[in-house]
Amino acid sequence: MSEEATYALPQSDPESAPYWEGIQQGELRLQLCTACQRHIFYPRSLCPHCHSDRLAWVSASGRGTIYSYTIVHRAFGPFAAEAPFIIAIVELEEGVRLMTRLIDAPRERVRIGAAVQVSFEQVSGRPPLPFFRLLE
Amino acid sequence: MSRVSAPRSPRAAIVGVAESDLGYTPNKTVLQLQAQAARAALEDAGFSFDEVDALFCAGNWSWSPTLTLAEYLGLRPRYSDSTNIGGSSFEAHIEHAVAAIEAGLIEVALIVYGSTQRSDRSRGRVSPTYRLTEQFEGPFGLPTPVGAYALAAMRHMHQFGTTSEQLAEVAVATRKWATLNEKAMMRDPITIEDVLTSRWIAEPLHLLDCCLVTDGGGAVVLASAQRARQARKPPVWVLGHGEAHTHATIANMPDLAVHQAAIASGQAAFAMAGLRPEEIDVVEIYDSFTITVIMTLEALGFCPLGEGGAFVSGQRTAPGGPFPMNTNGGGLSYCHPGMYGIFLLIEATRQLRGECGPRQVPGARLALAHGTGGVLSSAATVLLGKD
């Protein structure tokens, strides 16, 4: 297994820049389709539901529930040294799902349906990412 | 949406199949493996390279694998397709090739795959940067594809009560088939306990819930009905086919407990063939992970949604059981060079020809080959039958 010396970084682009700027400022941003009133994630230039291009950036509550999760024991590259860690797909209150990592989550308390809150964390010296913490 | 069409006489048949060397092939390039498989499949068909007028392949070893492979093989195809939707690509190639035959564009298609991923040690490399849609998942460190299938398995367990023991049933039964296949890499019998005590990769998946990482290649020759009659062996007819994909990133899978792409591809294939799941004698289902099989059996209608775990319990899919499945030993125990779909077609064809020796399913007349690609992203189903 080849070990990369450094972490790969997400490459911001014209569509995603407002999202990553929000993360830097401690705000989780989503797009809202003003035509069909649905939130969407990840950022796009058209709504995947109704295909309107009337999309507005909004601030998300940052709260949601665990939709599914896995405890990763064998990871690749620089992530190998961080294992085990818990990856989750979180369903936000706004109705969209995103991938994240749970921070400070005792595994016996991690279950599908558990309430979680976004937490912008710098792990291993990387720029901040939207991790999540258990709420209760 | 499933296509509505009456069953009709088949327009195309598989006439040749072959593997290359499998397992660990450090002294062969990805082109050598494919040339070896292509030549053997054409010999199996009794056809020459000069009779091939269409080339299909999928792979990430070249920016245009059909251009590179055709030049290497000395082919000048007049029809070319390098559709890559992951491990199901080759079942999709069957659909595309049948369509091209029906349109009168081609008569003989060569479908080829090869990979040296084991020798290259290329599995699990981390991208240098996360671009486009990867930027929202990559930075969290999920190992793919296994982590994505683990997320699906966890959701399936939550929603339907599926257990680790039920997942293990698939691995154990598949290993029993591998003991009957001299080409299989892993031939020592295993128990449910062995699976459950193998190390965690990504919970709830253990090491023995995961497919192998091997080198290898395979090839399939598909011919028009007229040309198929001139082949060396009896034709294996394509009775139905379907394909679909629903997402590329696991967070965007519509329902992590339901393989919706396979529902669509299966319905299309069964409707076209005018067949029902219970009529199939032998099934070859992509087993990247044990959960893949359970979700696919449900999606194809072999059992109701949520009952896949119960369906595979009691070693029902093992040799001698009522539901012969993955009779070559599957991606779990026979070989898995990155994209396994071509091997499903090869084994289904051999079963219908009666060429499988100790693992032969007696009297098999109808077979299903079903590929799943990406992170439960794509599906393609092919139904095969003999005269």
Q: Is residue B147 part of a domain?
A: no
First-to-last C-alpha distance (Å) of chain A: 39
Supply the ipTM of this predicted assembly. 0.96
Q: What pLDDT does A87 receive?
A: 98
Q: Is residue B204 part of a domain?
A: no
* Amino acid present at B131: R
**Residue B274's CATH number:** 3.40.47.10
Q: What pLDDT does A1 receive?
A: 39
Is B151 in CB contact (< 8 Å) with chain A?
A: yes
What is the mean pLDDT of the segment spanning A68-72?
A: 98
Q: Is residue B180 part of a domain?
A: no
pLDDT at A2 over 60: no
Q: What is the rounded radius of gyration, in angstroms, for the C-alpha atoms of chain A?
A: 16
Is A44 in CB contact (< 8 Å) with chain B?
A: no
Contact B293/B147 with Cβ under 8 angstroms?
no
Type and span of the H or E element at A97: strand A97-102
CB contact under 8 A, A77 and B125: yes
* DSSP reduced 3-state for B239: strand
Is A57 in CB contact (< 8 Å) with chain B?
A: no
Residue whose structure tokens are 């064998």: A74
Q: What pLDDT does B121 receive?
A: 82
Nearest-CB residue to A112 (from B143, B147, B158): B158
Q: Which of residues 338-377 of B touch A (CB under 8 A)?
A: none
Residue B112 token pair: 């080829």
Q: pLDDT tens string for chain B (387 positions)?
A: 444 455 678 999 999 999 999 999 999 999 999 999 999 999 999 999 999 999 999 999 999 999 999 999 999 999 999 999 999 999 999 999 999 999 999 999 999 999 999 998 876 666 778 899 999 999 999 999 999 999 999 999 999 999 999 999 999 999 999 999 999 999 999 999 999 999 999 999 999 999 999 999 999 999 999 999 999 999 999 999 999 999 999 999 999 999 999 999 999 999 999 999 999 999 999 999 999 999 999 999 999 999 999 999 999 999 999 999 999 999 999 999 999 999 999 999 999 999 999 999 999 999 999 999 999 999 999 999 999
CB contact under 8 A, A72 and B142: yes
Least confident of A11-15, A98-102, A112-116, B167-171: A11-15
Nearest-CB residue to B121 (from A2, A7, A101): A2
Name B137's Cβ contacts closer than 8 Å, sequence gap at least 6: A99, B130, B249, B250, B251
Is A82 in CB contact (< 8 Å) with chain B?
A: yes
Contact B337/B217 with Cβ under 8 angstroms?
yes
Q: What pLDDT does B125 receive?
A: 67
Q: Is residue B114 part of a domain?
A: yes
Q: What pLDDT does B274 receive?
A: 97
Q: Is residue B186 part of a domain?
A: no
Q: What pLDDT does A124 receive?
A: 84
Q: Is residue B145 part of a domain?
A: no
Please count the other Cβ atoms lying within 10 Å of the Cβ belonging to residue B133.
Answer: 16
Contact B262/B374 with Cβ under 8 angstroms?
no
Contact B88/B100 with Cβ under 8 angstroms?
no
Is A53 in CB contact (< 8 Å) with chain B?
A: no
Domain count, chain B: 1
User: SS3 helix, strand, coil % of chain B, rounded to 5?
Assistant: 40, 20, 40
Range of the domain at B302: 12-120+211-386
Chain A residues within an 8 Å CB radius of B254 = none
Q: How far is B138 from chain A (nearest CA, A)?
A: 7
The pLDDT confidence band at residue A7, using thresholds 50, 70 and 90, is confident
Chain A residues within an 8 Å CB radius of B252 = 97
Q: What pLDDT does B126 receive?
A: 66
Domain A61-136 has CATH 1.10.3720.10: no
Q: Among A89, A118, A120, which would you mutate to test the B interface (most chain B Cβ atoms within 10 Å of its Cβ)?
A: A89
Q: What pLDDT does B109 receive?
A: 98
What percent of chain A stands above pLDDT 70?
Answer: 96
What is the mean pLDDT of the segment spanning A105-125?
A: 95
Q: What is the 3-state secondary structure (H, E, C) of A52-90?
A: CCCEEEEECCCEEEEEEEEEECCCCHHHHHHCCEEEEEE
Type and span of the H or E element at B308: helix B308-312
Q: How far is B256 from chain A (nearest CA, A)?
A: 8
Beta strands in chain B (DSSP E): 12-19, 54-57, 80-81, 108-115, 129-130, 200-202, 205-206, 216-224, 236-245, 282-285, 366-373, 378-386
Mean pLDDT of chain A: 94
Q: For chain A, what are the domain ranges?
A: 14-60, 61-136
